[in-house]
Structure 1
């Protein structure tokens, strides 16, 4: 049991370290409010992406525009004009009327007529600004409506970035007096006619039922908010996405008519029947605009009366149709969500081997998470998306760094064994499959099919006798470097240097199991031999100019079964290849030294010939008995094209 636990902890150590570390840092960062603006921006984007919804036909807006003000001849419009407007609206028998205009002072003439209209219209709700803020002091309601308790608050809650995402359903003053918002009053009047009234569910937690909807007051750290001022009964606005949102010109989210059209009777006679009518200013000169998730300039920002229409519509739709309100998880729930996706990021990063795979995996998981969060938003849930994506990506980066650190020992073991004798491509393949190839810092012994290449310099003994030792070693190393590079360029492994001989193997240490893979290794070996011949020709030209010896070389190539693995002591290990194919390649290189092949004689065995047939020109030499072998071998010469003879 202990052994299994130890093995588990060893395999998952990086994940178990990265997950809580990254999650803790993200949660701490969130608690400081650093992520607040990003989370608001993500919420705004969700609003813009949501499907379009039709206008709420239960609401009509009477907008007072610039033309209306010019016709009235003044602003504020006189009490007489306002009284006439209200009487025209009353004639259409609306369910409720919201006067989204401040009218704490009389505007002669016609004050007495306006008071009479106020007192004779029980479904008319006036406006007051209950609490002052940075944008102005409190403003009292019309005195006549105050006496009749027909007043609603129109205080706007603005976030730190200047946008409105929350709304007040009611405001409670320090003296304990509570004033419902204008939108709340209008919605309750409308719903009362349908037999829907407000029910208390949990007063201590400010939870109330209204038809199909359950309202809960926001807390200071709900959603992406940190340290929110939760004075009053606040909820998150759930805007309808409409084709006119954020658009310039005469495009309205709600059915809108002008004051002049109402006064002149240029509207249908039943346009307002049994509907909520909101009266407010839309004239640009009055600057009654608010920024919302859909606003990108003052010209596309909705008016204050449209914002109240949004809240009224939200209450009606939630209570009657069950349209979702926006809910959030508890703070511990959100922390757990961040922790979970930190674990997912670390797991994805830890299980995928390649850095590109890790990045792709994290991106795919992050995309899935974003889509899932958006679908949850459509269902009425605002889930943390920014901190979760940061946790996901952060854990992926952390586990990648951890893996890079812990893999350094294995990498060093591979480099100690193979040194600079493999190409980057093969080194990458070895590293990819290191769990199958490495054990205890050694490459495991394997039986596999490979192609072995042996080279040797003709007349090397004579050259050593005629050349100074220092010059000889420089000359020989130059030759070896060129030959070894040719092996690496053709994805071979330099097995060893033996004096002036080079042994290279193609198809190790990653096994080639399919016939086409074995054939590819054989072709690579023959291509390498031809390249060696071409490079030796270039070397000879350079050496001749310098007065150094020029040489020819012999190459033997054989394909077949070999055994590969680590050989040596703890202090010195070498990765090597042994087997019959190694012996055949060596014997082919030294076979009948009188057989001329030009600057580079290339002899191949019959198995190699079978794999390269039709891809390289060859010449059959014969069936020969190689030294140390009982079975005869068919051998072929691969001519070095365009090579001069020595």
Structure 2
């Protein structure tokens, strides 16, 4: 295919839809594409499977067993949390993160707060949690944020503190985090970033933090991926503090009672505790393996390119090969997105590219189908159904362009029909011609001919066009003989109704002619021109002079003499010819091969 022959319109339409698909995915007002894009990320995590955690994280769980063992309502006394911190600190941890909010004085009195504050100060490794609430003013779109830090008494001895707010997507899943949070024109380090800093200062190997504060959490696996120990077992002395040596210890609720659970890619149904989400964030940070989302320009540009490719594929190939190519391209892309996610930690938008492939393909296929149906209806005026099917299948290679070739032409006419039709009503003439031409056209098509045109009751048919047929002369002769057989019952009905005699004359000639789509810019027609065609027309007109139904030229006779019984009629001089032409008639008998 040359550059000029490329289906530019389909390619441009495909690329524009690719652009539309990508932009719709970015600026998705309805949420349909966004929700499905987020589900695709869940699927990518599931296909990747769990990975071994790299960070030394241990979770001390406030779970159902601890509630049962301690037999105390929540919130528990802060002195008990202080006891927990003292036990963990004896194990020499790298950092302790308390995923518990201490925003108000203890209900158990100031001594309770003092006990926790002293334990926090003695440890020097504790990171406290702060709350960052977001509220919307009534009647206004403007949002307000309130930062709720831990009690000043607790903050004084803490290694650090930071907001613990979990970021949820529009489907309530937690897939991403933000290391800093904006409040009052200041970026406040978050809970996880503060733990990362304390652990790093304690000697835990740590990759540099991401340049962008927001990233996709590289979840290690479902709940239970990180080691756990029950809160009650630690404070009861059942667990040795040695298990915390060099560990990042996170303390938080895992029970459903405290409602600190969220759906995540690895826990869409049974949910994951917030403290386990923090464990995954810290693991992602320390290992330096956040998942990056591909920039909008990349997703958009790629969708535009594949949309153009889909338009070209659908225009350049038949539907089945095009479908296989488009489907194969979509599968390769999906496999590529999974590979990029698994090994490159890159999130490529999944939906725009398949949409950019599918919709232009379907659009072009539907358009081509509609055009083919129109073309079939147009061509069916001239060609048999089998020839029409082949022309449409071959498209540009069907040979409909004008060119010289050897062929056979057939002309037929009802003798004296003009004078007979003058005695008939116009509606009767039309009805008869419809019946007659239908019968004769079926005969032409049956023997591989092409109806060039109707001129009143006259028929011009071509053979060996548009496709090669070695026996084209024999095809024309068989058509002429079948004309006579099909005319007989028509003639009987015509005589009974109109008291006239029907006879059909057929002239056939074989030779070279120019055949193809010929005409003006305003109108084109598939036809043949040349001396061969003119002689065929003259032969039809002299059938009545010799009182025979069929007259063929010597050129045609040489092609069919071994197949049909013929009779030599003589030489005639026809209009436009200086040299006499030898002519023959064909008897309604085809020779039997010996």
Note if contact 2:15-2:306 (Cα within 8 Å) is conserved in structure 1.
no
Q: Distance in 1 between matches of 2:203 and 2:411?
A: 96
CA pair 133-165 structure 1, distance change in 2 beyond 3 A? farther
Contact 2:311-2:361 at 8 Å conserved across structures: yes
Secondary structure in 2 matching 1:482? helix
Paired with 1:630 and 1:277, the residues of 2 have a C-alpha distance of 111
- CA, structure 1 residues 549+46, in 2 after alignment: closer, same or farther (shift >3 Å)? farther
One of 57, 60, 65 as aligned partner of 1:59: 57
Q: Residue 100 of structure 2 aligns to a residue in which SS? A: coil
By how many angstroms is 1:326 displaced? 0.8
1:45 aligned to which of 18, 24, 40: 40
Matches of 2:28 and 2:250, distance apart in 1:
37
Q: Cα distance, 1:180 vs. partner?
A: 2.5
Tell me by how many angstroms 1:308 deviates. 0.9
Q: Is 1:154–1:182's contact at 8 Å kept on the other side of the alignment?
A: yes
Matches within 5 A, 1:11-410: 14=9, 34=29, 38-39=33-34, 41-50=36-45, 51-56=48-53, 58-73=56-71, 74-90=73-89, 92-104=91-103, 105-106=105-106, 108=108, 111=112, 113-133=115-135, 138-141=147-150, 143-150=152-159, 151-174=161-184, 176=186, 179-194=188-203, 211=207, 213=208, 215-217=210-212, 234-240=213-219, 242=221, 244=222, 252-262=224-234, 271-293=243-265, 296=268, 299-318=269-288, 323=289, 325-329=291-295, 340=305, 344=309, 352=316, 365=329, 368-378=332-342, 379-383=344-348, 386=351
Q: What is the distance in 1 between the residues matched to 2:74 and 2:570?
A: 114
> Retained in 2: the 8 A contact 1:279–1:305?
yes
SS of the residue 2:292 aligns to: coil
Matched, 1:422 2:374: no
The Cα of 1:164 is off from its aligned counterpart by 3.1
Matched with 1:204 is none
8 Å Cα contact 1:18/1:346 also seen in 2: yes
SS of equivalent to 2:451? strand
Mean Cα deviation higher: 482-491 or 17-26: 17-26
- When residues 124 and 637 of structure 1 are mapped into structure 2, their CA distance, relative to the original with a 3 A threshold, is farther
Quote how far apart the aligned CAs of 1:558 are. Answer: 8.8
Corresponding residue SS for 2:284: helix
CA shift for structure 1 position 311: 0.8
Moved more, 391-400 or 360-369: 391-400
- If asked which structure has higher relative contact order (CA below 8 Å, sep 6+), I would say 2
> What is the Cα deviation at residue 303 of structure 1?
1.8
Q: What CA distance in whole angstroms lies between the structure 2 residues aligned with 1:587 and 1:581?
A: 11
Residue 616 of structure 1 corresponds to which residue in structure 2?
Answer: none
Alignment partner for residue 480 of structure 1, among 415, 437, 454?
437
Q: 1:550 to 1:622 in 2, by over 3 A?
A: closer
Which residue of the partner structure matches residue 423 of structure 2?
A: 468
CA contact (8 A) 2:92 2:246 kept: yes
Q: 1:577 maps to what in 2?
A: 528
The answer to whether the aligner puts 1:621 opposite 2:565 as a matched pair is yes
Residue aligned with 1:54, SS: coil
| Distance in structure 1 (CA, Å) of the matches to 2:485 and 2:245 | 97
What is the DSSP-based 3-state SS (H/G/I as helix, E as strand, rest coil) of the residue aligned with 2:270? coil
Instruction: State the SS of the aligned residue for 2:123.
Output: coil
Change (3 A) 1:576 1:63: same
- Classify the secondary structure of the residue corresponding to 1:309: helix
- Which piece of structure 1 moves more, 63-72 or 553-562? 553-562
| Shift in alpha-carbon separation, 1:490–1:31, aligned structure 2, 3 A | farther
Which is richer in strand?
Answer: 2
Distance 1:10 1:620 in 2: 47
What CA deviation, in whole Å up to 9, does each residue of 1:544-590 have, x standing for no partner? 99688797878898988654135678888653336899779997997
Residues 46, 374 of structure 1: 8 Å contact kept: no
Of the structure 1 ranges 120-129 and 396-405, higher mean CA displacement relative to structure 2 is found in 396-405
**Alignment partners' CA distance in 1, 2:202 and 2:479:** 92
Separation in structure 1 between the aligned mates of residue 402 and residue 496 of structure 2, nearest angstrom: 47
User: C-alpha root-mean-square deviation of aligned residues, in Å?
Assistant: 5.7
Q: Secondary structure at the match of 2:166?
A: coil
**Which range moved further: 334-343 or 277-286?**
334-343
In the superposition, relative to structure 1, how do residues 473 and 14 fare at CA in structure 2: closer, same or farther (>3 Å)?
Answer: closer
Q: What is the rounded CA distance, in whole Å, between the counterparts of 1:333 and 1:635 in structure 2?
A: 76
Q: Aligned equivalents of 1:524 and 1:268: distance in 2?
A: 102
Displacement after TM superposition at 1:376 (Å): 3.8
| Counterpart Cα distance in 2 of 1:47 and 1:432 | 44
- How big is the shift at 1:479? 0.9
C-alpha distance 466-16 of structure 1, shift in aligned 2 (>3 A): closer
- Partner SS state of residue 381, structure 2: coil
1:238 and 1:490 map into 2 onto residues whose CA distance is: 73
Q: How does 1:545-564 map to 2 (within 5 A)?
A: 563-564=514-515
Aligned residue pairs total: 555
Q: Distance in 2 between matches of 1:491 and 1:238?
A: 70
Q: Structure 2: 5+ residue runs without aligned partners?
A: 137-143, 551-555, 572-579
Task: Return the offset for 1:301.
Answer: 2.5
What is the distance in 1 between the residues matched to 2:274 and 2:518?
83
The alpha-carbon distance between structure 1 residues 534 and 118, as it changes in their structure 2 partners (threshold 3 A), is: farther
